[in-house]
Structure 1
């Protein structure tokens, strides 16, 4: 239990629980990136746009802000390595899902991910419906009636993509933070803290699995 408490304090995550496996809001913010992966991410009213985030202890960093009004996922994994006094490196990992690759059992609304690297393998990234490429990030729409939902800078040089729907297959990458404004269902939610020396593993580890997004 002391290991868990210290690790979560270092990670700096905030989770508000409404009932078992259901979260009203999740805000994860770290001074460094975390790895994430999902078998498939499907969204409605989605947008991607270049933006900036202020990272504690680091400064301003360019990111790809990805947002969607509603979405579903086939499994989810988020992991980060932290170095703790005496203990050394530990892997803090959140996983959720039913283990069935044919279902998208995780659902969420009003989601934004600030990503530094992203890769979709196999079928890759598919956009559908009305797709606009090259628009200003500030003009991307995800939530009805909300201006600049990605919080992108104004002016030239910040491009974005807006689409009615989209899928990312075998998604892997790095993110600085994730915000879920509406409810998210996380069946099979598990949180673990495992020393690397004792076999702690991250969500993915193969070199080259995550390709940098353009800055």
Structure 2
């Protein structure tokens, strides 16, 4: 007999749809944890939340850009870029509304305890950031295309090379809470990776 939840959701049918996606996500996650893949997160035009206990980065640059989302909608963002970064206590979450079933959350955590996340050529397209930040060797008002300390302008960004930007030799951010539209990295090693799919809202903050 087929299991039925309140509201008529057929759990077995839902599982048939979800399990292959979760298995594929887990396989990708294992590869990422071993540093085997470049990483790119862009959830079909949805915001997602990212929190980090501590980020130590070198070769920092920041500039404005437009993200082109699914359907052609353009979103103004601030791009934070690092040539290399080490992160402690990383959490990334997205809530996806599923018709009839309700909200489904995907939460990824890594770099807890003695482990840390390592990234190279890291780009974060965000529209809100809260943190305690320390910048070393900072230059403010540098044209985005003239930055020589950071990794340059990301290929996927629609940015004016002559627009306002800033850069620094290194940066430390503590207690990071941000909402983002996209994250990409040349390499992204997620040590101590854990992923969880759950019903309802289960976010980083």
TM-score (norm 2): 0.79
Does the C-alpha gap of structure 1 residues 58 and 34 become closer, same or farther in structure 2, counting only changes over 3 Å?
A: farther
SS in 2 for 1:22: coil
Question: Contact between 2:95 and 2:202, CA under 8 Å: does it hold in 1?
Answer: no
Higher radius of gyration, 1 or 2: 2
Partner of 2:140: 133
Question: Contact between 1:76 and 1:95, CA under 8 Å: does it hold in 2?
Answer: yes
Question: Contact between 1:21 and 1:188, CA under 8 Å: does it hold in 2?
Answer: no
Q: Deviations over 1:152-195 (max 9, x none)?
A: 52266x3211000001111001111111112x221221111111
Partner of 1:60: 74
Q: Give the deviation of 1:138 after TM superposition.
A: 2.3
Structure 2 matches for 1:77-96, cutoff 5 A?
77-96=91-110
Question: Contact between 1:51 and 1:152, CA under 8 Å: does it hold in 2?
Answer: yes
Q: Give the deviation of 1:3 after TM superposition.
A: 6.1
Question: Contact between 1:78 and 1:203, CA under 8 Å: does it hold in 2?
Answer: yes
Aligned match for 1:194, one of 177, 184, 198: 198
Question: Contact between 1:51 and 1:137, CA under 8 Å: does it hold in 2?
Answer: no
Q: Give the deviation of 1:60 after TM superposition.
A: 1.0
Higher helix proportion:
2
- Counterparts of 2:71 and 2:20, CA distance in 1: 19
TM-score (norm 1): 0.76
Q: Give the deviation of 1:47 after TM superposition.
A: 0.6
Question: Contact between 2:108 and 2:193, CA under 8 Å: does it hold in 1?
Answer: yes
- Counterparts of 2:119 and 2:18, CA distance in 1: 27
How many residues get paired? 187
Q: Give the deviation of 1:2 after TM superposition.
A: 3.6
Partner of 2:89: 75
Does the C-alpha gap of structure 1 residues 190 and 79 become closer, same or farther in structure 2, counting only changes over 3 Å?
A: same
Does the C-alpha gap of structure 1 residues 148 and 173 become closer, same or farther in structure 2, counting only changes over 3 Å?
A: closer
- Counterparts of 2:185 and 2:78, CA distance in 1: 16
Q: Give the deviation of 1:58 after TM superposition.
A: 5.8
SS in 2 for 1:166: strand
| Structure 2 segments unaligned to the other structure (5+ residues) | 1-14
